[in-house]
Structure 1
Amino acid sequence: MHCHTWYAHFAGIVSKLCYGTPLVITTHSLEPLRPWKREQLGRGYDASSWVEKTAIEMADALIAVSEETKDDVIKHFNVDENKVKVIYNGINLQQYVQTSETSTLDAYGVDKTKPYVLFVGRITRQKGIIHLVNAIKYIYPDTQIVLCAGAPDTKAIGKEMEDAVNEVKKTRNNVIWIDKMVTKEEIIQLYSHAAVFCCPSIYEPFGIINIEAMACNTAVVASAVGGIKEVVVDGETGILVPLEQQTEAPFEPINPDKFARDLANGINKVINDKDLRNSMAKKGRKRVEEHFDWVAIAKQVAALYKSLI
């Protein structure tokens, strides 16, 4: 049995205990490194942490989605290092392809004659969207900001996001907030026409959104955390923004304003240099083709299964 998230792990635990079924766990994130989940789950965070720990430590094989995630697994859990294999996430490259279609831009009021920076993700502490919103005041005025962000973890962070966006809109009329989950076809259009994709996460074991954007020929500006550093090649497929974080929970930036300014500087650099932007877009697609094609990733997973039978 192969389980990917803590709420599926319990089934894997029971199957292994009752039937001796080999158990494979993919660690897309780790509860000890997501303390803000307590805001969402309350005491359920203790339950999710226990389930995750139990499953990981009894698994026959563990897949870490990045080298840094492998290090985190070994650091936080009692596991045999030889059981942990790094297999990156992948995407369907036949699906994630740059498109000329613009109906989604028209539907949400995106001006096709001006560049925009795009964010895609849930409204959570982990995804760092508040830091991007705080960076808007430092981004070139003519650059549109498209925030494709919904499903807040809590009412409180949803309200914080709403207040921050409303404050920015007092002095800027080109911030577009799509506060719902869009279709894959819509998101591919948004990726395809963005001048820059921004991933301001403060914790990201892999960051599949970055390879989705890169596959659609879009330059990436992302925080230099976790597995992002293994996806985005600084200066080649995008810009990695250094982030000095607290060493203990909640792992927020030590200097939030500096992080916001650095994000904006990276975005402005790409916006201001069309040749650099086009070069990063081209090299980003090539990198995804060479390293993150789901067909090749699936073969690695299949080989792992066979080794356990």
Structure 2
Amino acid sequence: MKNIIHIISMKRGLGGVQQSFLSYYKFAQHSSRYKHYIFSNHEVSKNYGYLRNFFKIQKNFFTFLKHIISKNSIIYLHNKLPSKKIFYLLKLLPTNNNIIFAESGTAWNIKTQDQIEIYKKNADLAKQIIVCSIATKHMLVKRFKINAKKIKLIYNGQEDPLIKKKNSKKKKLNIGFIGRLETIKGAHLFIEAANLLKKKNLIFWIAGDGDLEKELKEISKGNKNVNFIGNVKNPFDFIKNLDILVVPSIREPLGLVSIEAGLCKVPVIASNIDGIPEVISNKHSGILINPTRKINLKKYNNQKSLPNFVINPNNQKLVKPKELDPKILSKSILLLSKNKILRLKYGLKLYQHVRKRFSIKSYFKGIEDLYEQF
């Protein structure tokens, strides 16, 4: 039996990469033909609970090296293509052509030529690169000139929590945002739209934490309908109580949160950028809005996370990032809030789509079939 050695950081509390991996890893524990291990530089976040076969690299370094060079191990690196440490490690050790890299978003963070070179060198060492979306594949091919034949699309999978929506006669609708409070996630646009709707019968909920929390609370002052609730342990517990989820991202390789909303049958209003349209079809399973507003670099302090390029899903070209116009976003929120039938329709269509394309079983099978090639 071959060993699958996952190298991934489980330190962060609300990362889509970690949540996706956790669903897969728990499923693989009882369904895989292989034995799985996790190696990380950090202790696992308490948010993820107990993980079987989890090892901290520093405490188990020689065991880690043995796996790297073993013919009986497949090395699966999650979001590690930009890592210099990984490059030097793999370059120095005989790895038996057993390297898989999974790319789920780090490609958008690359800014300097030095980073680009390391990224390309790590890609050269890989036997296979797994991407989470068509947009991610285009980013790798067009920006980093990586051979498309080495790239394999396997959509992330999520287990259906089988949530039953309750019929309620509440007077106010709940509009939500969940994610890291940093510029690229667009929480500032959500609040700007909420400020334009503060006289309406709507309550706005923000779940998550991050560098912009203080500034975001400042711009929401005077709007008693905006509520910050901090980090949430289980996204489904937050999303299932919403009437509309808003995903105003500036960049989003795929967008796990939209998949989670679909599994809750909650309609989504989102940016038409990168991989988001691979989850949501405009005016069929949600509302997509083209980003048209120039990003004001002086408005927020947290600008380091802004990408140099994003993927325009209409033509799959690299373009400079823009953000949603809050006026257009507010009009879409108001439109959907006034039409219960449309909300139910979009929620159901999104549920049917994500159940088919993003099931944990299809994701698991795609990964398992890939292992067979080693």
Deviations 1:54-81 (A, max 9, x none): 3223211111211111011011224211
- 1-structure distance, mates of 2:113, 2:129: 22
Deviation at 1:158, TM superposition (A): 3.5
SS in 1 for 2:204: strand
Deviations 1:250-288 (A, max 9, x none): 8453xx6x6111111221111110000011111111111
2:122 aligned with 1:122 = no
Higher relative contact order (CA 8 A, sep 6+): 1
Deviation at 1:245, TM superposition (A): 6.4
Deviations 1:116-144 (A, max 9, x none): 11100001121111111111123362110
- 1-structure distance, mates of 2:243, 2:216: 23
Deviation at 1:97, TM superposition (A): 2.8
SS in 2 for 1:26: strand
What is the identity, as a one-letter code, of the residue corresponding to 2:103? T
What is the identity, as a one-letter code, of the residue corresponding to 1:137? N
2:78 aligned with 1:4 = yes
> Does structure 1 retain, via aligned residues, the 8 Å contact 2:208–2:232?
no
- What does residue 217 of structure 1 align with? 265
2:125 aligned with 1:58 = yes
Q: Percent identity?
A: 23
2:82 aligned with 1:23 = no
2:285 aligned with 1:237 = yes
SS in 1 for 2:281: coil
- What does residue 153 of structure 2 align with? 86
SS in 1 for 2:270: strand
- What does residue 276 of structure 1 align with? 342
> Which structure is larger by alpha-carbon Rg, 1 or 2?
2
What is the identity, as a one-letter code, of the residue corresponding to 1:217? K
Deviations 1:84-128 (A, max 9, x none): 1111111111x363465x9xxxxxxxx954211110000112111
- 1-structure distance, mates of 2:372, 2:293: 40
TM-score by length of structure 1 reads 0.80
Deviation at 1:235, TM superposition (A): 0.9
Deviation at 1:8, TM superposition (A): 9.0
SS in 2 for 1:126: helix
- Structure 1, unmatched stretches of 5+, are 39-44, 103-110
Residues 145/195 of structure 1: CA separation in 2 closer, same or farther (3 Å cut): same
- 2-structure distance, mates of 1:301, 1:61: 11
SS in 2 for 1:70: helix
- 2-structure distance, mates of 1:162, 1:175: 9
- Structure 2, unmatched stretches of 5+, are 1-74, 296-306, 310-319
Higher percent of residues as helix: 1
SS in 2 for 1:229: helix
SS in 2 for 1:193: coil
Residues 252/84 of structure 1: CA separation in 2 closer, same or farther (3 Å cut): closer
- 2-structure distance, mates of 1:246, 1:29: 22
> Does structure 1 retain, via aligned residues, the 8 Å contact 2:293–2:325?
no
* Structure 1 stretch displaced more, 76-85 or 241-250: 241-250
- 1:119-158 superposed matches below 5 A: 119-139=177-197, 141-152=200-211, 157-158=212-213
2:226 aligned with 1:226 = no
> Does structure 1 retain, via aligned residues, the 8 Å contact 2:258–2:279?
yes
Deviations 1:21-68 (A, max 9, x none): 41111111134x336xx8xxxxxx888666544322321111121111
- 2-structure distance, mates of 1:165, 1:276: 29
> Does structure 2 retain, via aligned residues, the 8 Å contact 1:222–1:228?
yes
What is the identity, as a one-letter code, of the residue corresponding to 1:264? S
Residues 128/46 of structure 1: CA separation in 2 closer, same or farther (3 Å cut): farther
2:251 aligned with 1:203 = yes
> Does structure 1 retain, via aligned residues, the 8 Å contact 2:120–2:146?
no
Find 1:173's aligned residue among 211, 214, 224: 224
Cα RMSD between the aligned structures? Answer: 2.9
How many residues are paired up? Answer: 276
Residues 83/75 of structure 1: CA separation in 2 closer, same or farther (3 Å cut): same
SS in 2 for 1:144: strand
2:214 aligned with 1:159 = yes
2:205 aligned with 1:182 = no
- 2-structure distance, mates of 1:4, 1:296: 19
What is the identity, as a one-letter code, of the residue corresponding to 1:6? K
TM-score by length of structure 2 reads 0.67
